[in-house]
Amino acid sequence: MSEINRAVKGTNDVLPDESSNWQFVERQMLSTAALYGFKEIRVPVFEHTEVFLRSVGDTTDVVQKEMYTFDDKGGRSITLRPELTAGVIRSVIENGLVNGALPLKVCYVGGCYRYEKPQAGRLREFHQFGVECVGAAEPNADAEVIALARQVLNSIGIDKISLEINSIGCPECRKEYHKALKEYFSANKDKLCGTCLDRLERNPMRILDCKSPVCSEIAGNAPVVLDYLCDECKKHFEQVKSYLTAMNIEYTVNPHIVRGLDYYTRTVFEFVSGDIGAQSTVCGGGRYDGLVAQMGGPSVPSLGFAMGIERLMLVLKNQGKELPSADKPDLYIAALGEKAQLKTAELCAALRADGFKVETDICGRGLKAQMKYANKIGAKYSLVLGDTEIGENSASLKNMADGEAFTVKLDILSDELFKIINEQALNSLEDLISNNL
């Protein structure tokens, strides 16, 4: 197959039969976030490269190896967003949103781009849902954001997930921690990969996040940041844990979580699933109190999380969960003859204006082929319209599931269809109740 008929490596098409699943998941995410006061924000898919250099950190794998960066026709360095937090914070600063009521709560759904080796749960174009809460410093804000993440995952049907939390302290704590890491890794520098040798001098915490098996093994015995927290960071972390306990949210402290981006401070967390192999993290987030100031805005504390939608879809599939199917057409009208086709067009327009999902033939098929098509698309009801039906202003409406027929008036078809659908739904509900008594 030629490249013109093949998707770019690391990208996936969402086909019509799958799109309803995505729509359901995205609706659940946004509606759940709204319960906590989060409103949707939409930012550009590309930014000035400096946005990510200043926020994500030039010692991270994302910046060093994975960003899609290019010069535009004006000679400006532009990068397709590898994550959304940086672009959201840029927008918050540019539009003066930090000058309004705080905390500012925003959420988003959007595509991201990283040049990685494609594998299950990891693509070069992927989609994230996330939230950012700007202007909240208290530990109960951390717990509330974690609670939101858990409720989002529950709302789309994901279970068997575990929460892991850690604190990576503040810049003051990390000065001593960096010294300890540098001393530890320097004793093993002959075994470190080239990238980690560079990190050793610039940001030794990044070595803890290296994917190299050798570096990961060495990092397993490295000093842990919890032993170096200052009193304020210790207090904050203990309070976060107290709030999680009060909210009946189970967690495990994992001292090795550092997250993959440089802007995190204090609380970091991950929700982990055992149903997608090596790419087990389905949601990651934490606090980034210095990011807004780092990007040129005022000094305001912030926190948030992001979750990859493709990974969530994979978890749902591997857990055997079925999402609500796409709505089927309420009615298929089969037209016989030119006069009937004109009347059908009139009826379809009126029914659709009243909110019904209606389809009819637009391919010049005969009656048998039309009814076969109605079956394929799962139409709930069908109606055959010819000269006789038009002359009598009535037709037979057929329930495609059980074959039951109803005589309906064409001039009040919308009312008739509404009445029949609701009566059928009521009867089904009564049958369900009586069968369970």
Domains, in order of start, for the chain: 3-170+230-318 (3.30.930.10), 331-427 (3.40.50.800)
Tokens of 84: 């959304």
pLDDT in tens, the chain (437 residues): 678 889 999 999 999 989 999 999 999 999 999 999 999 999 999 999 999 988 776 556 677 778 999 999 999 999 999 999 999 999 999 999 999 999 999 999 999 999 988 887 789 999 999 999 999 999 999 999 999 999 999 999 998 899 999 999 998 888 888 899 889 989 888 888 888 888 888 888 888 878 788 888 888 889 999 999 999 999 999 999 999 999 999 999 999 887 666 678 999 999 999 877 666 889 999 999 999 999 999 999 999 999 999 999 999 999 998 888 888 999 999 999 999 999 999 999 999 999 999 999 999 999 999 999 999 999 999 999 999 999 999 999 999 999 999 999 999 999 999 999 888 766 654 564 555 55
Q: How far apart are CA 310 and CA 20, in angstroms?
A: 14
For 168, counting Cβ atoms within 10 Å of its Cβ (0-12 exposed, 13-18 middle, 19+ buried), the class is buried
Question: Distance from first CA to last CA of the chain, Å, rounded?
Answer: 58
- Interacting residues of 172 by C-beta distance below 8 A, sequence separation 6+: 230
Cα-trace Rg, the chain? 28
Question: What pTM value is reported for the model?
Answer: 0.89
- Interacting residues of 112 by C-beta distance below 8 A, sequence separation 6+: 80, 81, 82, 83, 84, 125, 126, 127, 128
DSSP letter for 43, please.
Answer: -
Angle of helix 413-435 versus helix 338-353 axis, rounded to 10? 60
Tokens of 192: 């470190």
Q: How far apart are CA 386 and CA 373, in angstroms?
A: 18
Amino acid letter, residue 201 = E
